[in-house]
Structure formats: C-alpha cells, structure tokens
Structure 1
Amino acid sequence: MIQAFAFYLFAGIVVVSATMTISARNPVHSVLWLILAFFNAAGLMVLVGAEFIAMLLVIVYVGAVAVLFLFVVMMLDIDFAELRAGFVRYLPLGLALAIALAAELIVGVGAWSAGGIELAQRAAPIDPAVPNIEALGQLLYSRYVFVFEVAGLVLLVAMIGAIVLTHRERTGVLRQNVTQQVRRRAKDAIRKVDQPVGQGVEL
C-alpha cells in the first residue's frame, strides 16, 4: 500500500515539476524545478530497487544542474538586490517546500523498507540475493566489459572533439611550447663565468 502511495506521489511531483521547468519564465526558477524533478525521479528509482541509478541521478544530474545554475547566474544579467529583497516574501513557501521534501524522504524510506516494486525480471541471470550495485558491477566488468570500454572511448573522443572545435587562436597571448621546453639543454639556459674578485659582472 505504501509503495503505491509513494509511487503516485513521486510520479505526480515529477510530472508537475517537469511542466513547471518548461513553463517558468525565470531561468533560475526553471532550474530549481528541474532539480526537484530529478530528486523525485531518484525516489522512483529507489522504489523499483535501482538505488544505484537513484544515486547517479542525485550526484551526477543534480551536481551538473548546480553547475548549470552557476553558468546561468554568470551569463545572465540577474539583479541580486531584487532577489535578496524577495527572500523574506518567499520564505514561507521555501519552508513549506522543505517540509514537503522531508515528508517525501520519510515516505520513500518507508516504502523502501517495505520492499521494492517488482516490475520485471532482471535483464541477466544473476542471483537475486546479490545487491543491485554488485550485480551491475559484475555485468559491466564481465559480460559487457568491451561495450563499457567502447562507451568510455566514445566519451573520450567526444571530449577531445569538443576541445578541438572550441579551440581558438588568440593574438597577444603567450603560448606554452612544450617541445621547445623539453628539448632545451643546460648550456642554453645557464652560462658559467669565472668572475675575478673585485670586478663587476658584465651583462
């Protein structure tokens, strides 16, 4: 019973927050609604027993959204004085939202303790007694190890391609020549002088 209630609660909030994400006029509000959608989607993953995916949603996506939030604040002309002025006005709403999230956590923990929702069988024949994270690791590094390595290679190529495409030559900027630095010898950098006592140094 509590699993079904938690499912409809998390799913409903995901739908509402996703709708508000694309309909909010303020980009900061849109990002906050998106973070709320990610948190509730993580709650849905916990309900079906995929706690590893739930952890990835919170750590990777919410962390990435936080970085996106910083970029939005830096790139847009946002009046921080106006935001601080509206802090007291939105304080009751913020407290209500915090209480609602705390209640969701309590419901999610209760539903997880009661047992996950069995939606389907596992994709691979692994002992059901093995935890999901351990089973996922066994699959990735045994049966799908080559696919996992190819996926990492594709991501590496994409990262290098993004760096190459965004690289621009700028005038007036000193660039580091690694090859010239490595090929440099001691005789090119220093000069030994047998300086007599009492005489100055000639530069």
Structure 2
Amino acid sequence: MIISTIAFYLFAAMTIASAFMVIAAKNPVHSVLYLILAFFNSAALFVLLGAEFLAMILVVVYVGAVAVLFLFVVMMLDINFAELRQGFLQYLPIGGLVGIILLIELILVVSGWTLSPEALKLAAGAGPAVSNVTNTEQLGAIIYTDYAFLFQTAGMILLVAMIGAIVLTLRHRPGVRKQSVASQTGRRPEDSMAVRKVEPGQGV
C-alpha cells in the first residue's frame, strides 16, 4: 500500500511538471518531448488504477502516433519564432482578460460544487461485485453495443479533421513535378510511340 501511494505521488508530480514544461519550454521540440513524458506518466497512473487498457492505448496511440507526428511536423516546419514573438505584447491585454475570465469561471464552478447525500451513501456502501471479465472486454462490449453510433461518429469527425488539416496545409509550389492520373489514363498509343524507318547504316 505504501509503495503504490509513493508511486502515485511520484507519477502525479512528474505528470504535472511535464505538463508545465510543455508550455514553458522555449524550444517546440523540447515541448513535444515533455508531452511524451507526460503521456508516459499518465499511463503509469492508469496502471495504478487498474485500467491497463487505457494505459496501453495512451502509449500506443498518443505516444506512438500523435506525439511522434507532432515531433516530425515541428522539426520539418521552417517557422520563424522571432517573428511570431514580435506580436506577443500586442495581444497580451486580450489574452490576459480571457485568462482572468476563465479563472473566475473555474473558481465559481469549484466553489459551487457540492456532493449530494446519495453520492456519499453510495461511496460509504459496499462496491459492486468484481467479475472475471477483463477491462478490455468490458470496454469493447460497451463501445460496440451501447455507444457504437457515437464511436463511428467520432471516427468520422477525426476523418474530416484530418482531411481539413491536409487541405489547409497543402502548398502549391511552382516547378514541382506531379503525377497527372487523367493524362496518364487518357494517353493514346500514337502519342507515346512513333514508328520510324531507319535506313541501313543510319542511327535513330
């Protein structure tokens, strides 16, 4: 029990510190690396809670795909960060005002949050019986039965977002050779081949 408590506070502290360094680091590559560290520590917290499937998904999907993709994109983009920082003071009052409004809203939400007596009784009562079904099987049964439509809707939203990101970041550069499928499929044999009569002793 003591070891799990120490591990929880250790991973929680590392997660908070990594999340702070994501927004505090000046180098965007370092920010992505800190984000990967935060994902790993969050996965460790899920393991301590007994949700090993969520921990595996967090590592495989977010660390193995999303964070690595962010890292490659940040390293490949030629961004002038000095130019981006020039307009920081210009938007500082608006950003500060929005931050203060969000802080006031969070304080109002937290201060007005109370526990109902029914929730306290349920927390003090006996928990549900532990079944022999694994977490992965339970999640799969719920996602693909009760929430199948919402699961497919989330997939469609991600597909539309991916296509939108590709369209927004697509750059048409002059002088770049590209494949034209229409011209390839519409090409005729007489346009590609020429029959020449070569006399003896002459080259083509």
TM-score of the aligned structures, taking structure 2 as reference length: 0.60
State the distance in 2 between where 1:76 and 1:23 align. Answer: 18
Match in the other structure for 2:38: 37
Q: CA deviation at 1:10?
A: 1.6
SS in 2 for 1:142: coil
Structure 1, gaps ≥5 residues long: 78-119, 121-126
Cα shift at 1:13:
2.0
- Of 56-65 and 37-46, more deviation after overlay is shown by 56-65
1:157 aligns with 2:160: yes
CA distance in 1, matches of 2:47, 2:186: 56
Aligned to 1:88: none
Q: Which of 186, 189, 192 is the matching residue for 2:189? A: 186
- 2-structure distance, mates of 1:161, 1:29: 27
Aligned length in residues: 153
Q: Distance in 1 between matches of 2:145 and 2:73?
A: 39
SS state of the match for residue 44, structure 1?
helix
Which residue pairs with 2:139 in the alignment?
A: 136
1:180 CA displacement: 1.9
Please point out which of 149, 153, 174 is paired with 1:146.
149
Cα distance between partner residues in 2 of 1:28 and 1:165 = 22
Aligned to 1:89: none
Q: TM-score, normalised by structure 1?
A: 0.60
Quote the offset at 1:26 in angstroms.
Answer: 4.6
Spell out, residue by residue over 1:168-199, the C-alpha distance to the aligned partner (whole angstroms, 9 max, x if none): 33322333221121122333322445x47736
Structure 1 residue 147 displacement after superposition: 1.9
Matched, 1:198 2:191: no
Counterpart amino acid of 1:60? V
- Residues 143 and 47 of structure 1: is their aligned pair in 2 closer, same or farther, counting only changes over 3 Å? same
Q: Which amino acid aligns with 2:6?
A: F
Percent of residue pairs bearing the same amino acid type:
52
Bigger relative CO (Cα 8 Å, ≥ 6 apart): 1
| Partner secondary structure for residue 178 of structure 2 | coil
Aligned to 1:21: 22
What CA deviation, in whole Å up to 9, does each residue of 1:124-178 have, x standing for no partner?
Answer: xxx8322112222233333322222222111111122222222333322333221
Cα distance in 2 between the residues matched to 1:163 and 1:66: 17
